[in-house]
Structure 1
Amino acid sequence: MPETSVVSRTAPYLESVFECTENLYSVYLHDEETLYLTGTPSSRIDGPLGVYPGTNAHECSLRELLQTQVGEADFKWQERYGNVVHFKTALGGDMLFISDPKALQYIFQTSGYNYQKLPERRALSRLHSGHGLVWADGETHKKQRKVMLPPFSGPESKALLPVFNRYAEMVTLKWKDDLSSSPDHSMVYNVPAWLSRATMDAIGEAAFDYHFNAMEDVDSDIVKGYNGLMNIVFGSPSAGKILVLDIARFIPRAVIEWLQDYLPGKGLQKARDSEALTSGVARTLIKSKSEALAEGRRGRDILSLLVKANKSENEKTRMDENEMISSMRTILFAGHETTSNTISWALLELSRNPNAQAQLRKEIREMESAIRARGDTEFSATDMDQMSYALAVIKETLRIHPVIHHTFRRAMKDDVLPLSEPIRTKSGKLVSEIPIAKGTRVVLSIAGYNRNSELWGADVHSFHPERWLDGSIKKTQTIGVYNNLLTFAGGIRACIGWRFAVHEVQAFLVELISNFEFSLTEDIQRLRREPCGVMLPTLEGEVEKGVQMPLKVTLATRDE
């Protein structure tokens, strides 16, 4: 079907959606005896002035949340209104912003499947991961998670550390070659661009026993398919796009996905091209792994273990081919995009804090000496876990720079949300719990929770790895799967590959800090934490160029 035909057929439908939204304002009720409206959060909970009937929809609070740099609105709202905030969407809809620890624990863990993903947000996640675990909800999510958990167990993740070490060493060799030919023996590298290709190769071998050759061939199809994907598809949403996103809550998810498949647009075409490339590779690999399993040949890569786990399920609980392909896309996306950015943010903070960088390098060198003394040459998982300062740096990076900074949910039934600290309503009443009506839409702020001063200390906005070593972190409800951070989420939606990610970050960080010294460039003054579905580093005035974090790199001195 020609694209012009799709546009002409859908335009009247979209226009009718715009028209009907005017009538939605009539649902506003003001009942002073309750804490919530029918189907919406309470207007009695304080928050920023948003859109109401008759005002400019392009000035909504949702726009502030999605268009500013990651965390800017979160931290401002927290300071002014607290950990539960009522705000407005583009069409005047009500939402709750939540960073309260007890409320988050309840939503993520106690009542997980009663707070499901927003349909329009599920449709967006489909653009980068298909109908995989990130997209799935309810029974489908339970089925997929059950099959995917075994390959990501602790022992399986630790066994992949040598793969990560090898690709980190490849970066070292390439950078040393560059530095040796540089007049002043220094180079400025766009660090995340390099790390994205390196982690793509690492995830290719570790997860699929497949060689993407991303470091050698920057023009390969798989590199081009993922290069700029998040920035082009999700980056810098305009006021119009935010309005369309709000309209999408009135459109069935199946219709949204159909529009994504056929409507023209640079971002949608980029997503479709990426899907075609990765799905083709995935289909071939799944077939070969299935054949190998049938012949009794069992690989140790994640996809081989996933194929084996899926075969062991009965037909009713087994993932179909589309789900398996989507699972591979999910692993590839999470294993290289989010991890490479986390390593980059860690290197940025170490560049800003030379003393921390020196202390980390000292710990690494001491462990290298211990490894040589016992006759080994490679870091083991035990060695990595014994470097307490390195772990503190990683935890602090994950706290300060959560690559996934928001997640969106809606209540599937009437509920009561508990709070860690009482909040004061607009009428002055203190409440320690909030009645939630079915259909209430919430933004769970991972960025806000990770900088809650009640949990992490008064210097919550400072990079201070020592907080993880001096016992100053307050003990509270256990929410996240990794040291109570929400960076990998928690409960039923916790990232199943969090151990995998931590080992990958450990390998690259230890290798790079051992061999190189990182320092700031003038361009870093223009650095932005860009909201693109995930948090990406970009430069002010050059956002359209995609991911950028230029750091100066020199060889680290050694006292041998």
Structure 2
Amino acid sequence: MHRFLHSVLMTDVLLLFLGVTLAILVWQSWSFCSRVFRNRLCSLPGPSSPSFFLGYAWRFWTTDPTELHEEWIQRYGRTLSYRILADHCLFTMDTKALKHILIRDDVYQKPPNVRTFMAQMLGNGTVLSEGDQHRRQKRIVNPAFGSTQIRAFTDIFFSKASQLRDIFSLEVTRNRGSVEVNMYEWAHRMTLDVIGEAAFSYNIGSLQIDPTPNELCDAFQLVSRSVTRMSIWPMLQFFFPILRMLPEEQSRRFASARRAMGQFARQLIDDKRRELSQHEEKATRSRRADFLTLVVEANMKANVSPGQNLSDQTIIDECTTYLVAGHETTAITLSYFMYNVARHPHVQERLRSELHSIGTDAPTIEQISSLRYLENVLREVLRLYPAIPSSLRMAMDDDTLPLSEPINIDGVMQDRIWVPKGTPVIIPILAINRDKALWGDDALEFRPERWDALPDTVSSIPGLWANNLTFMGGPHACLGYRFSLNQIKVAVFTLLRAFEFELAVPAEDIGKSSTVLARPMRLSDPDKGPQLPMRIRACTLY
């Protein structure tokens, strides 16, 4: 009798479990189909999905979608919709609409799954925070990125660029006049050391031929140099956050690296507080203030109310973000700068001639900024090779999006689009930067001279800097853009005056990784990770 009751009970439990599971599956299936077929963006023009369940998810996870977007623009117009999983994404090249999206950060924010996914590498710094929290963090952090403060870092830029120049000179001499280097690797090491000094007044020590093993340096390298090729498991974790609860090797490595950086930053925060409490007046400080000092100092000011200052963990997250995002994007841009001057020898020669018009090896940043052709080349590199080719927002509430170019929706020309809450919105950074409708028929060409006479149409691009979206725009525009620009100019000034650069592999073998950051890589050898093989020789023309 007891066995019979136990059997009946187990059968009931099993049937209940199966019933609940079936109900969940039915609910999820109904919800999925409802999002697929009942979304109002279905009426927008756009491509049909290659997969009913995935849409374009896998293709966009593993490749840069810019070229596909540009193909769709030709077929469907400049504002369209396509599907990733069950969500209809809004894609637009309309600059009026993009300006609205970038300015209205109360409505268009980074999707929660993006913020959670990226936070395991960056922490919850200003880059990932939204709303009131973002404004609070930005108010404390912003003074560290002022033009005066960035100018004070010029000696660090020159010191590290000169150190790299001397390393290259030694290797050129050892190899009888020329040497092959991985330019990306050395740019990465130099910018990492710059960030260490500028952020903490700390020498990370990665800029040497045989760097000493260092737990902190290894942590920086791991977090900033995440996988070069995207795989299925990270994609599943991205789209289905519950899977992040499962143990996985890369997540454990990220957590360990962030703990190492966090312990390091926490100790420095305590040191900075003690230092600032002993020297309350700025005038008593004998050395340049680093990023952490400025943030801690701003956080301790009397005019910051207790409810508005930042916690130690938030400051640690700001430091992690500054370290990872700040040096990696600069290394990528410097690499593509050298790639382009190597591909265009006439550009390299003209630029080197201009650099030698300054009669000192250590000019002021104002002298370097006066070099017009250097500015033109840098703008062209950043236009065509943004470190982040596209970005993603989500409508956190229903909204009406204005258009400068009306589109045909169900036979009616509309100058506004209804955007439902939860809609993913693509910010097409690279596509806008090389849009022929804005830049002209030569938009895909590397032509620094274009910056001497820009078409009027590019003035509508809502970017922070130089009529492009590389540093984004609106309240979430890049805070550290001046830091990056000045560092690149100093590095170019120092290296191009000393060396001639050429590619060590065919130009067509250099591509971009399909991760969030578009790092240079060899298409014929992607498993080796980011790389830019270049041959350098001493410059003897001047």
Give the TM-score normalised by structure 1. Answer: 0.86
Contact between 2:87 and 2:423, CA under 8 Å: does it hold in 1?
A: no
Once residues 74 and 182 of structure 2 are traced to their aligned partners in structure 1, the CA distance between those partners, rounded to angstroms, is: 34
Query: Is the counterpart of residue 403 in structure 1 residue 403 in structure 2?
Result: no
- State the SS of the aligned residue for 1:136: coil
Q: Report matched runs for 1:130-141 at 5 Å.
A: 130-141=123-134
* Structure 1 match to 2:97: 103
Contact between 1:405 and 1:535, CA under 8 Å: does it hold in 2?
A: yes
* Structure 1 match to 2:323: 332
Deviates more, 1:446-455 or 1:536-545: 536-545
Once residues 71 and 222 of structure 1 are traced to their aligned partners in structure 2, the CA distance between those partners, rounded to angstroms, is: 36
Contact between 1:125 and 1:134, CA under 8 Å: does it hold in 2?
A: no
* Structure 1 match to 2:11: none
**Post-superposition CA distance 1:63-122 (Å, at most 9, x none):** 333322463323323333333221111x3321112332111111112x122111100000
**Post-superposition CA distance 1:238-284 (Å, at most 9, x none):** 35643553334xxxxxxx5xx64x63323212311221221121111
Q: What amino acid does structure 1 have at the position aligned with 2:57?
A: L
Contact between 1:392 and 1:465, CA under 8 Å: does it hold in 2?
A: yes
* Structure 2 match to 1:552: 535
* Structure 2 match to 1:187: 179
Once residues 541 and 451 of structure 1 are traced to their aligned partners in structure 2, the CA distance between those partners, rounded to angstroms, is: 26
Give the drift of 1:533. Answer: 1.6
Q: What amino acid does structure 1 have at the position aligned with 2:123?
A: G
Once residues 22 and 297 of structure 2 are traced to their aligned partners in structure 1, the CA distance between those partners, rounded to angstroms, is: 49
Give the drift of 1:558. Answer: 2.7
Once residues 15 and 213 of structure 1 are traced to their aligned partners in structure 2, the CA distance between those partners, rounded to angstroms, is: 57
Q: Structure 1, unaligned stretches of length 5 or more? A: 1-12, 31-36, 249-255
Once residues 75 and 250 of structure 2 are traced to their aligned partners in structure 1, the CA distance between those partners, rounded to angstroms, is: 36
* Structure 1 match to 2:526: 543
Q: What amino acid does structure 1 have at the position aligned with 2:205?
A: N
Q: 1:490 to 1:14 in 2, by over 3 A?
A: farther
Query: Is the counterpart of residue 342 in structure 1 residue 318 in structure 2?
Result: no
Deviates more, 1:202-211 or 1:322-331: 202-211
- State the SS of the aligned residue for 2:518: strand
Contact between 1:17 and 1:247, CA under 8 Å: does it hold in 2?
A: no
Query: Is the counterpart of residue 207 in structure 1 residue 199 in structure 2?
Result: yes
Contact between 1:230 and 1:533, CA under 8 Å: does it hold in 2?
A: no
- State the SS of the aligned residue for 1:187: strand
* Structure 1 match to 2:32: 25
Once residues 188 and 469 of structure 1 are traced to their aligned partners in structure 2, the CA distance between those partners, rounded to angstroms, is: 35
- State the SS of the aligned residue for 1:418: strand
Q: 1:231 to 1:99 in 2, by over 3 A?
A: farther
Query: Is the counterpart of residue 354 in structure 1 residue 345 in structure 2?
Result: yes
* Structure 1 match to 2:61: 66
- State the SS of the aligned residue for 1:318: coil
Query: Is the counterpart of residue 532 in structure 1 residue 515 in structure 2?
Result: yes
Once residues 488 and 435 of structure 2 are traced to their aligned partners in structure 1, the CA distance between those partners, rounded to angstroms, is: 24
Query: Is the counterpart of residue 247 in structure 1 residue 254 in structure 2?
Result: no
* Structure 1 match to 2:455: 472
Q: Could you tell me the percent identity over the aligned residues?
A: 28
Give the drift of 1:17. Answer: 7.8
Query: Is the counterpart of residue 318 in structure 1 residue 309 in structure 2?
Result: yes
* Structure 2 match to 1:82: 77
Q: What amino acid does structure 1 have at the position aligned with 2:32?
A: Y
Give the drift of 1:517. Answer: 1.2
- State the SS of the aligned residue for 1:127: helix
Q: Report matched runs for 1:499-518 at 5 Å.
A: 499-518=482-501
Give the drift of 1:294. Answer: 0.5
Residue 483 (structure 1) aligned to one of 466, 469, 472: 466
Once residues 515 and 329 of structure 1 are traced to their aligned partners in structure 2, the CA distance between those partners, rounded to angstroms, is: 34
Give the drift of 1:381. Answer: 1.5
Give the drift of 1:16. Answer: 9.6
Q: 1:41 to 1:104 in 2, by over 3 A?
A: farther
Once residues 181 and 67 of structure 2 are traced to their aligned partners in structure 1, the CA distance between those partners, rounded to angstroms, is: 27
Residue 304 (structure 1) aligned to one of 290, 293, 299: 293
Contact between 2:222 and 2:257, CA under 8 Å: does it hold in 1?
A: no
Q: Report matched runs for 1:108-187 at 5 Å.
A: 108-109=102-103, 111-183=104-176, 185-187=177-179
**Post-superposition CA distance 1:26-62 (Å, at most 9, x none):** 41587xxxxxx5xx451121222215xxx5535x223
* Structure 2 match to 1:238: 231
The aligned length equals: 513
Once residues 541 and 396 of structure 1 are traced to their aligned partners in structure 2, the CA distance between those partners, rounded to angstroms, is: 27
Contact between 1:230 and 1:532, CA under 8 Å: does it hold in 2?
A: no
- 4+ long deviations beyond 4 Å: 13-20
- State the SS of the aligned residue for 1:125: helix
Once residues 407 and 334 of structure 1 are traced to their aligned partners in structure 2, the CA distance between those partners, rounded to angstroms, is: 15
Residue 268 (structure 2) aligned to one of 285, 296, 302: 285
Q: What amino acid does structure 2 have at the position aligned with 1:282?
A: A
Larger radius of gyration: 2
Deviates more, 1:80-89 or 1:304-313: 80-89
Query: Is the counterpart of residue 363 in structure 1 residue 354 in structure 2?
Result: yes
Q: 1:230 to 1:164 in 2, by over 3 A?
A: closer
- State the SS of the aligned residue for 1:95: strand
Q: What amino acid does structure 2 have at the position aligned with 1:330?
A: T
Give the TM-score normalised by structure 2. Answer: 0.89
Query: Is the counterpart of residue 57 in structure 1 residue 53 in structure 2?
Result: yes
Query: Is the counterpart of residue 418 in structure 1 residue 402 in structure 2?
Result: yes
Query: Is the counterpart of residue 274 in structure 1 residue 281 in structure 2?
Result: no
Contact between 2:180 and 2:533, CA under 8 Å: does it hold in 1?
A: yes
Q: 1:230 to 1:81 in 2, by over 3 A?
A: farther
* Structure 2 match to 1:5: none
Contact between 2:389 and 2:518, CA under 8 Å: does it hold in 1?
A: yes
